[in-house]
Structure 1
Amino acid sequence: MVTDNTRRSLLKAALFGAAYPLVGCTVTSKQSSAPVLIGCSISGRDRFNAVVADSAGMPLRQIALPERGHGVAANAALHHAVAFARRPGTYFQVFDYQTGESIKLRVADKNRHYYGHGVYSNDGQWLYATEGERGSSRGIIGVYDVVAGYEKVAEFSQFGLGPHEVIVMPDDTLAIGVGGVHTNGRKPLNIATMQPSLSYLDPNGELIEQVGLADNKLSIRHLAHDGSKTVLCGQQYRGEPDEYPSLLAMHTLGEALLPLKAEPEQWARFNHYIASIAATDEWILATSPRGNCYGIWSKHTQQLVELSPLPDASGVVVQGDEFRVSSGAGSVISQAAPGNKVTARSGVQWDNHWSVIG
């Protein structure tokens, strides 16, 4: 929960820049010096950063964050990036990913918290952030005017409780993973009655479509799209601990959610949780830090074709025609297709998610 004391501490950091160092430091890389990937990291007890990396996942610079980060959004036109605090988040931090310079520390409104994710509009003019109303978990998409210094100009709602990730489709439609969970801090309060959904809004915030899965204990959380019309959604299962339903689904507007396929013992490896997702024309890759693994599915057959161990498997993006997968243990996997991967050591304790610039 966003307490008044927390808000005051973060506001003090924003005003005086003393409590939390917000200037980036450069880390030597043997790869290209061009920034391509951005993610959050943990670098010690109560030390959290956003890390800018090259195309191979090797760090270039890091920006200190006041609290643990989660998702990151990037705006290539302005060289801006935004790190969102882990839910129930108290801030988002805007910085220049070329220089590491701090641009804005935006503290959550008094009766709001952030859910850890956001995305820029396709034209880069707006930032959309998943937010919740304190005390009710009413879902909100906060709309921020980038040119006006990230001033909040609108709120979209009426789509459910506990939105987690929001993405922008190529046609400017917003897709939202609505977890359906009312929480106090991180404690769930309505598991028996939760109503998760995959919800779509038009750019004006009007609800276009809302679909759900047959099992309402599958909380829809993380999203990706394939560059066209297909959305992939990853779930957290909040039902019986010895049941292992499908944790991934794909969807196109106007159709039903289609669960991806794997054997129950394979789903068990994911420990009831999907974190990051990315997709190409042929393949879908999803990570599970709780399961210390990632899987690759055929987009055409929806069948799991590879299940690989990876300690604290975290972010995944598509760079060129290859997946890049991060790990809290410091590994970076480069893989274009099942069975063919290269592993490198980044020296970064990656946390949760990656974003690709471009």
Structure 2
Amino acid sequence: MTINRRQFMLGASQAALAAWFLPACTAQKSEQWLVSTCNDQQGQNMAAAINSQGQIVSTVNLPARGHDSLALPHKPGHALVFARRPDRFAIEVDFINGEIVSHIQSQADSHFYGHGAFSKDNKYLYTTENLYDKKRGLIVVRDAQTYQVLDRFDSGGIGPHELMLMPDGNTLVIANGGIETHPSQPRKKLNIETMQPNLAYLDIATGKILSSFAPPDHQLSIRHLTVNPNGAVYAGAQYQGRKSTIHPLVFAHHGEDNLQAFRASQTQWFKMQQYTASLLVKDDLLCVSCPRGSHLSFWDTATREFIGQQAFSDVSGLAYSNGNLLASSGKGLLKKLNHANPITGPASTSSLALKFDNHMTMIAAG
């Protein structure tokens, strides 16, 4: 079921949201829409697009909970939406008309892990998947137009989650979470004592793993990452060990022999509650959302040090638009922070009648 052209302002928040969410487009600038998976007030799983005036452009209902979305550069107004593990669906949504235009199913022996990436020329789609009976992670290669499976590569580990194309256009970087799962036990983690997470680099021409780097503790599950234009990779971890153990949760890698942990006080690591979610890098600023710790954390990529935080309950997705950092929450809030001064500068928060899920994506408006 789809909801066609749901364009309305949301209660008392409408004026505030329209005022700050995204600058209105001009004749010289193309408008962008924010896309996120979410739930409505009745708990229906859906994906929504929101325009620069704070209106919901359209929503589509999902068969189960979604995770990340991916802009289709060759199709303005369209995005791919991926299922949350361990579901098998991904869909292409036309948010202009509020319609699902393509359904993608994982192959019978695998399921999606919630993320995807395109090749530099946008001809190929790469998705992280779980070959669950073989206990192997997959990078599945599809034709970006037809979504036909063309090849399947080993991800270099178990539980591949987020992946991104490196600036060279020839390499994928993959966050292999290390956790074994199976659809028969949907959210159960089956190998916590023996898990082996890593950050892996894959040559897209050959499907070969070029190198991989393990975190300092084998229970630090690497889940999400981001890459700056110079090829520096930043990764966030979720610790699967004892609740009382404190470990660094944010890492950098840029050609070193090991993952480089960012520096922060024990107090800050404790506040993050062993859990990171979305990452976003812009210039020398890295933003990491901490849902369990109910705050946005900010890091200097030049010094690799923690520099501050902003309280935000149940924070989830991150996006960047027109000089602003945008953050969403599972409580239906959207926060805007100025990129130049996100810690002590003014921040605006507005409420929508949606409960946002893990990630946000900016797409070109239709």
What TM-score comes out, normalization by structure 2 length? 0.87
Partner SS state of residue 267, structure 2:
helix
The whole-number CA distance in structure 2 between the counterparts of 1:293 and 1:113 is 31
The whole-number CA distance in structure 1 between the counterparts of 2:117 and 2:52 is 21
The whole-number CA distance in structure 2 between the counterparts of 1:248 and 1:109 is 33
Residues 133-179 of structure 1 deviation map (CA, whole Å, 9 limit, x = unaligned): 123431001111022x2111111115111101111122122110001
Give the C-alpha shift of residue 263 in structure 1: 1.4
Matched, 1:325 2:305: no
The whole-number CA distance in structure 2 between the counterparts of 1:234 and 1:282 is 17
The percentage of aligned residue pairs carrying the same residue is: 31
Paired residue type of 2:48: V
The 1:103–1:38 alpha-carbon spacing in structure 2 relative to 1, beyond 3 Å, is same
Gaps of 5+ in 1: 1-20
Matched, 1:171 2:143: no
The 1:277–1:101 alpha-carbon spacing in structure 2 relative to 1, beyond 3 Å, is same
Partner of 2:83: 85
Partner of 1:309: 311
Paired residue type of 1:357: I
Give the C-alpha shift of residue 327 in structure 1: 1.2
The 1:99–1:211 alpha-carbon spacing in structure 2 relative to 1, beyond 3 Å, is same
Q: Is the 8 A contact 1:286 1:296 kept in 2?
A: yes
Partner of 1:241: 243
- Higher RCO structure (Cα 8 Å, ≥6 apart): 2
The whole-number CA distance in structure 2 between the counterparts of 1:322 and 1:280 is 10
Give the C-alpha shift of residue 44 in structure 1: 3.9
Partner SS state of residue 274, structure 1:
coil
Partner SS state of residue 289, structure 2:
strand
Matched, 1:183 2:181: yes
Paired residue type of 2:140: G
Partner of 1:160: 157
The 1:191–1:120 alpha-carbon spacing in structure 2 relative to 1, beyond 3 Å, is same
Partner of 2:67: 70
The 1:57–1:273 alpha-carbon spacing in structure 2 relative to 1, beyond 3 Å, is farther
* Pairing 1:280-295 to 2, within 5 Å after superposition: 280-295=282-297
Residue in structure 2 matching 1:226, options 225, 228, 237: 228
Partner SS state of residue 191, structure 1:
coil
Paired residue type of 2:202: L
Residue in structure 2 matching 1:119, options 97, 117, 120: 117
The whole-number CA distance in structure 2 between the counterparts of 1:89 and 1:138 is 16
The whole-number CA distance in structure 2 between the counterparts of 1:328 and 1:56 is 21
Partner of 1:351: 357
Partner SS state of residue 25, structure 1:
coil
Q: Is the 8 A contact 1:273 1:288 kept in 2?
A: yes
Q: Is the 8 A contact 2:2 2:59 kept in 1?
A: no
The whole-number CA distance in structure 2 between the counterparts of 1:325 and 1:355 is 11
Give the C-alpha shift of residue 110 in structure 1: 1.4
Partner SS state of residue 112, structure 2:
strand
Residues 235-283 of structure 1 deviation map (CA, whole Å, 9 limit, x = unaligned): 0101121112111101113542111121122112221111000011121
The 1:272–1:56 alpha-carbon spacing in structure 2 relative to 1, beyond 3 Å, is farther
Partner SS state of residue 267, structure 1:
helix
The 1:84–1:237 alpha-carbon spacing in structure 2 relative to 1, beyond 3 Å, is same
Paired residue type of 1:152: V
The whole-number CA distance in structure 1 between the counterparts of 2:305 and 2:332 is 29
Which runs of structure 1 show a deviation greater than 6 angstroms over 4 or more consecutive aligned residues? none
* Pairing 1:106-145 to 2, within 5 Å after superposition: 106-145=104-143
Give the C-alpha shift of residue 45 in structure 1: 4.7
Q: Is the 8 A contact 2:5 2:96 kept in 1?
A: no
Partner of 2:255: 253
Q: Is the 8 A contact 1:74 1:120 kept in 2?
A: no
Q: Is the 8 A contact 1:87 1:113 kept in 2?
A: yes
Paired residue type of 1:309: A
The 1:57–1:268 alpha-carbon spacing in structure 2 relative to 1, beyond 3 Å, is farther
The whole-number CA distance in structure 2 between the counterparts of 1:239 and 1:349 is 29
How many corresponding residue pairs?
Answer: 337
Give the C-alpha shift of residue 27 in structure 1: 2.6
The whole-number CA distance in structure 2 between the counterparts of 1:38 and 1:316 is 11
Give the C-alpha shift of residue 119 in structure 1: 1.6
Give the C-alpha shift of residue 48 in structure 1: 1.0
Give the C-alpha shift of residue 55 in structure 1: 5.0
